[in-house]
């Protein structure tokens, strides 16, 4: 019995529709609060981790071990004056960070979080097309970035946006093709060879994924991982906000909490991409002892991926934009195509 049904039962005196509504609402809140808390922990881990790699100590003044540092930073961002650039496109300027923020939050609601002992399934969304929804939302985020870039009337932001668009176009096609390969592979159970449904929803993919798809199609994992690094835009592929050339790219003219939203979007994408990779390629909530602890398996996989991402972030230099476009079209696209053909042949084989 999932957590949703439990809440529904408690509120059953309201009637069927109303109690389901309340249950969805409450569960979304619970998941979002969990995500927000773990997200704060994530930024704290990032700062400590980066500091240790760079032989520093990291935040240690606010609270014990600097645990309250992020809250202090958030208060600072909220309290700062929001400087509005002259000659801006006012509405686009103001809604851009909100689009990034909301899209990031929405994406977390769609994730299948797996089972946890008493609570049962933690997944909020039970739609059959969460995969499609998820990548729909992921493609909303660039719109916010582009709006933010071109509305500020700054040359740095303009260049940053141009790069971000070039980057997005060149990696999103390989990303979608490698996701397509997942859908093909999960259309048939490789245990029995029967056709199965649920290939378009994330939870359906997870339930079919007895052997992680990363083992079946490592090429797809590579392409998807690189695409996700590019989507989250951290160090090797942070072309939109390459701080040594373009100061801060499309966020150059933002300050205060509006900048904070972009910042949350950046770290949220790191977190979300780690979730997505572990769901799609590493078996998600599946593990040796099934049921009951699936959520913990998912979190372990995600945190390991997050740590790897952060190590990439601090260690690897930034790639140049023309080289990245080359990489996207000349290497990632053929690789993902080959992966797609391979996935088709694999499905034919197991049938």
Partner 1 sequence: MSHWIELNIGPVHPSTHGIYRFRVKLNEETVEDVDITIGYLHRNAEKICELNYFVNNTIYFDRMDYIDAMNMELGYLRAVEALTDMEVPERAQWIRMIMAELSRIAARMVGIGALGLDVGMLTPFFHTFHEREKIQKIFVEASGGRQEVNYMSIGGVYQDFNDKIIEEIREFISEFKGKLEEIVKMFTDSEIFWQRNVGTGILEPDIALDYGVTGPMLRASGIPYDVRKDSPYLFYDKVNFDVPIARTKDNMGRFLVKAEELRQSIRIIEQCLAKLPDGPYFNPKTKKSAMLLLKGQGDVFTRVESESGEFGVFIRGDGGVKPYRVHARSPSFKNLAVVPIMAKGSLIADLIITIASVDAVAGEVDR
Partner 2 sequence: MVATVKEIKMPKKPVPVVGSLKLMYSMGKYMFKKPVTTQYPEDKGEIPERFRFRIFLVPEACVGCTLCSKICPNHSIKMEHWDLDRSGLENNVVQTARGDRKNLQNKRNIYPDVNFGTCTVCRQCEEICPTDAIYLTHQFENARTRNSFTYSPQELTMQEEDVIK
d(CA 95, CA 107): 18
The label of the residue with tokens 């490592």 reads: 218
286-345 residues near partner 1, rule: CB under 8 A: 314-323
User: Quick one: which of 44, 156, 262, 310 contacts partner 1 (CB under 8 A)?
Assistant: 156
Query: Per-residue x/- mask for partner 2, residues 21 to 60, rule CB under 8 A?
Result: ----------------------------x-xxxxxxx--x
Binding partner of residue 312 among partner 2, partner 1, none, CB under 5 to 8 Å per kind? partner 2
Per rule CB under 8 A, count of chain residues that contact partner 2: 14
- Per-residue 3-state assignment (H helix, E strand, C coil) for 80-94: CCCCCCCCCCHHHHH
Pick what 319 binds: partner 1, partner 2, none; C-beta below 5 to 8 Å, kind-dependent.
Answer: partner 1
The token pair at 244 is: 């040594």
Tokens describing residue 137: 């939302």
As given in the structure block, the two tokens for residue 77 are 């961002």
- Considering beta carbons, is residue 218 or 344 the nearer one to partner 2? 218
Contacts of residue 87, Cβ cutoff 8 Å, sequence gap at least 6: 153
Q: Rule CB under 8 A: choose which of 235, 337, 346, 350 binds partner 1.
A: 235
Q: Nearer to partner 1 by C-beta: 115 or 241?
A: 241
Applying CB under 8 A, does 314 fall inside the site for partner 2? Answer: yes
User: Is 320 an interacting residue with respect to partner 2 (CB under 8 A)?
Assistant: no
What tokens were used for 297?
A: 């398996």
Of 184, 219, 213, 211, the C-alpha closest to 199 is 184
Please state, in angstroms and rounded to a whole number, the distance separating the CA atoms of residues 20 and 18. Answer: 5
Per CB under 8 A, contacts with partner 1 among 27-66 are: 50, 53-56
Q: How far apart are CA 291 and CA 257, in angstroms?
A: 41
* Residue 165 or 314 having the CB closest to partner 2: 314
Between CA 46 and CA 49 the distance in angstroms is 5
**How far is 221 from 217, CA to CA, in rounded Å?**
7
CB of 240 to partner 2, least distance (A): 21
Confirm or reject binding of residue 106 to partner 1 (CB under 8 A).
no
CA distances from 260 to 21, 32, 82, 254, 256 (A): 31, 18, 11, 9, 6
Build a one-symbol-per-residue string for 246-275: x at contacts with partner 1 by CB under 8 A, - elsewhere: -x----------------------------
Helix/strand/coil for 332: helix
Min CB(54)–partner 1 separation in Å: 4
- Binding residues for partner 1, rule: CB under 8 A, are 50, 53-56, 155-156, 158-159, 162-163, 235-236, 238, 242-245, 247, 314-323
Q: Applying CB under 8 A, which residues contact partner 2?
A: 49, 51-57, 60, 311-312, 314-316
């Amino acid at each position: 019995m999932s957590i949703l049904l439990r809440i529904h039962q408690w509120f059953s005196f309201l009637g069927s529709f109303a109690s389901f509504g309340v249950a969805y609402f409450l569960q979304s809140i619970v998941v979002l609060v969990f995500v927000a808390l773990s997200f704060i922990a994530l930024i704290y881990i990032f700062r400590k981790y980066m500091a240790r790699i760079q032989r520093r100590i990291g935040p240690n003044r606010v609270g014990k071990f600097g645990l309250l540092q992020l809250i202090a930073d958030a208060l600072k961002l909220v309290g700062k004056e929001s400087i509005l650039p002259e000659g801006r496109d006012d509405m686009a300027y103001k809604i851009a960070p909100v689009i990034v923020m909301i899209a990031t939050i929405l994406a977390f609601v769609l994730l299948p979080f797996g089972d946890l002992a008493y609570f049962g399934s933690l997944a909020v969304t039970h739609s059959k097309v969460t995969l499609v929804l998820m990548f729909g939302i992921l493609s909303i985020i660039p719109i916010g970035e582009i709006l933010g870039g071109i509305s500020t009337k700054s040359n740095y932001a303009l260049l940053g946006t141009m790069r971000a668009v070039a980057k997005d176009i060149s990696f999103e096609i390989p990303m979608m093709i490698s996701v397509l390969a997942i859908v093909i592979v999960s259309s048939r159970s490789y245990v029995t060879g029967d056709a199965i449904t649920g290939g378009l929803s994330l939870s359906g993919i997870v339930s079919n994924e007895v052997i992680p798809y990363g083992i079946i199609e490592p090429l797809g994992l590579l392409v998807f991982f690189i695409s996700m690094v590019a989507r989250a835009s951290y160090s090797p592929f942070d072309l939109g906000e390459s701080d040594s050339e373009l100061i801060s790219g499309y966020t150059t003219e933002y300050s205060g909490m509006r900048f904070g939203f972009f910042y949350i979007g950046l770290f949220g994408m790191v977190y979300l991409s780690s979730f997505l990779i572990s769901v799609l390629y590493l078996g998600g909530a599946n593990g040796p002892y099934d049921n009951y602890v699936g959520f913990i398996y998912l979190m372990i996989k995600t945190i390991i991926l997050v740590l790897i991402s952060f190590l990439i972030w601090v260690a690897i230099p930034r790639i140049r934009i023309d080289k990245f476009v080359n990489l996207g079209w000349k290497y990632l696209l053929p690789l993902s195509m080959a992966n797609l053909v391979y996935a088709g042949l694999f499905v034919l084989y197991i049938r």
